[in-house]
Chain A
């Protein structure tokens, strides 16, 4: 198992955001978290990337408890978190954004290699290198945010709502890229409101409700399950 959360709870101040989350992602697996707003999906990602600490429970990554490790150490260990809302550095150029993604790398040649890797997935970025990121379209910003995350070639990629606000055509484009990363054996934990689209490309999924993992299973089974569809997927 690449990462597992065991009965994790977590708080924002005094407010309990996660009550009891247990989930696993194996090497090379694409797993989706679905659930309503406020169910704790984004918080779960924050706990995994170490920005938030669990109040109780354990997070085990590559066989080691992550509690005592800083977010930076976890990034170095291969966990990269692409946050909700893209959060590109709007007044910096596309190239500078990508360079920031490679902040922890110092080998210039390696950075060049990674840039090529990102351009292979997102050719559009190559033609926008000197443009300020804030002037990109929403879809391009999404691609930049993911590309920035790929600069470290993560072992575990956490994607928070990458399809938010994208046109259906761009959604398809971004989903295709996520599938391709999956084929390249990158483990991905995806949080997505567009549950149907996410489940179609995922291996497995967990359903979250008010800070708990309530159901899980193979994505295709969840898609076929009428109960789950009615209660959580809304179609």
Chain B
């Protein structure tokens, strides 16, 4: 029972991180039609930024996390403005850009910071015990912080004017343009938000595991599974699917074998697609 609860909590922790990554991927796809393979590189960039700020400059964790989100957001702004924007009418070019960006960003990270593994000093180091279940405090913190970010994002997209216009552009850019909505501005903003959330995921992963130049690849693969499972472009679907994949992975790791953990996520993924080919929530946001 205790093991079950621990695995469930781990699943929620990973699910919340995957959710942060998946949102950026689903926005790039929904707004630009681009499958952004480079999104994992922004996760990595976030982790590196936080590692440097905390370890080298001794900046407190929370401040470093916020700064990392800001830095990666600015990086995302530049990348969208000066590369992806020119691929808007030819999504295959966007795909090529994204693959090129992986090499550029990962190798830049190795060049700048060296190839060895690093770790971000977590905010909390101890454990807490709730009814016999021992949980790492940092994990609980990551889950709470990530979930808060997901909730903020959801409210932003549902309730604010700029969030609504983002949904409008995703649904019908032509009609949105006729209302005076600037497509360029909305896509740029969405890309930046996606990168900020990716950076948050990177800081979270870096504080629980290790920081490496290739650390973005695994959560990115999960994100692709998640947005397919949730239904392309569906934000609600991405939320639900992220937690499904997180839970399946960690239960499999706990009860079967951590070497096989990924397999179970993909099996669930394939099974759901057999019965619901358009994902859990079909199409739409």
> Which of A's residues lie within 8 Å of B, judged by CB?
49, 51, 71-72, 75-76, 80-83, 87-92, 96, 99-101, 103-104, 148
For A104, list chain B residues within 8 Å (CB): 179-180
A75 to B182, CA, bound (A): 12
Given A89-B172, A91-B284, A100 contacting B177 (CB threshold 8 A): no
A49 to B174, CA, bound (A): 12
A202 to B180, CA, bound (A): 28
The minimal Cβ–Cβ distance linking B157 to chain A, given in whole angstroms, is: 11
Q: List 14 A-B contacts (CB under 8 A).
A: A51-B178, A71-B178, A81-B178, A88-B175, A89-B167, A91-B284, A92-B168, A99-B161, A99-B164, A100-B165, A100-B176, A103-B161, A103-B180, A148-B179
Q: Are A100 and B174 in contact (CB under 8 A)?
A: no
For A103, list chain B residues within 8 Å (CB): 161, 165, 179-181
Given A51-B177, A71-B177, A92-B171, A100 contacting B182 (CB threshold 8 A): no
Q: Are A49 and B180 in contact (CB under 8 A)?
A: no
Q: Are A71 and B180 in contact (CB under 8 A)?
A: yes
Within 8 A of A (CB), among B242-285: 284-285
The minimal Cβ–Cβ distance linking B172 to chain A, given in whole angstroms, is: 6
A72 to B182, CA, bound (A): 8
In this complex, what residue of B is CB-closest to A73?
A: B180
Q: Are B164 and A92 in contact (CB under 8 A)?
A: yes
- Besides A72-B180, A76-B180, A89-B175, 9 other A-B contacts (C-beta < 8 A): A51-B177, A75-B178, A75-B179, A89-B168, A89-B176, A92-B168, A100-B164, A103-B161, A103-B165
In this complex, what residue of B is CB-closest to A149?
A: B178
Residue from the list A72, A76, A87 in contact with B175, Cβ < 8 A: A87
For A87, list chain B residues within 8 Å (CB): 172, 174-175
A99 to B161, CA, bound (A): 8
Interface centre among A75, A76, A89, A90 (most CB of B within 10 A): A89
A81 to B165, CA, bound (A): 18
For B167, list chain A residues within 8 Å (CB): 89, 91-92, 96
In this complex, what residue of A is CB-closest to B167?
A: A92
In this complex, what residue of A is CB-closest to B283?
A: A91
For B179, list chain A residues within 8 Å (CB): 75, 100-101, 103-104, 148
The minimal Cβ–Cβ distance linking B230 to chain A, given in whole angstroms, is: 14
A28 to B59, CA, bound (A): 65
For B164, list chain A residues within 8 Å (CB): 92, 96, 99-100
A83 to B284, CA, bound (A): 21
Interface centre among A49, A51, A72, A148 (most CB of B within 10 A): A72
A99 to B171, CA, bound (A): 15
A88 to B134, CA, bound (A): 52
Query: Would you list the 6 A-B pairs with minimal beta carbon distance, nearest first?
Result: A91-B284, A87-B175, A75-B180, A104-B180, A72-B180, A103-B179
In this complex, what residue of B is CB-closest to A72?
A: B180
A51 to B168, CA, bound (A): 18
In this complex, what residue of B is CB-closest to A92?
A: B167
In this complex, what residue of B is CB-closest to A71?
A: B177
For A49, list chain B residues within 8 Å (CB): 178
The minimal Cβ–Cβ distance linking A38 to chain B, given in whole angstroms, is: 19
For B176, list chain A residues within 8 Å (CB): 89, 100
The minimal Cβ–Cβ distance linking B206 to chain A, given in whole angstroms, is: 36
Q: Are B161 and A83 in contact (CB under 8 A)?
A: no
In this complex, what residue of B is CB-closest to A99?
A: B164
The minimal Cβ–Cβ distance linking A19 to chain B, given in whole angstroms, is: 24
For A92, list chain B residues within 8 Å (CB): 164, 167-168, 171
In this complex, what residue of A is CB-closest to B162?
A: A103
A49 to B177, CA, bound (A): 11
In this complex, what residue of B is CB-closest to A103?
A: B179
The minimal Cβ–Cβ distance linking B73 to chain A, given in whole angstroms, is: 24
A92 to B171, CA, bound (A): 9
A81 to B179, CA, bound (A): 8
Q: Are B171 and A90 in contact (CB under 8 A)?
A: yes
Within 8 A of A (CB), among B219-239: none
Within 8 A of A (CB), among B5-27: none
The minimal Cβ–Cβ distance linking B182 to chain A, given in whole angstroms, is: 7
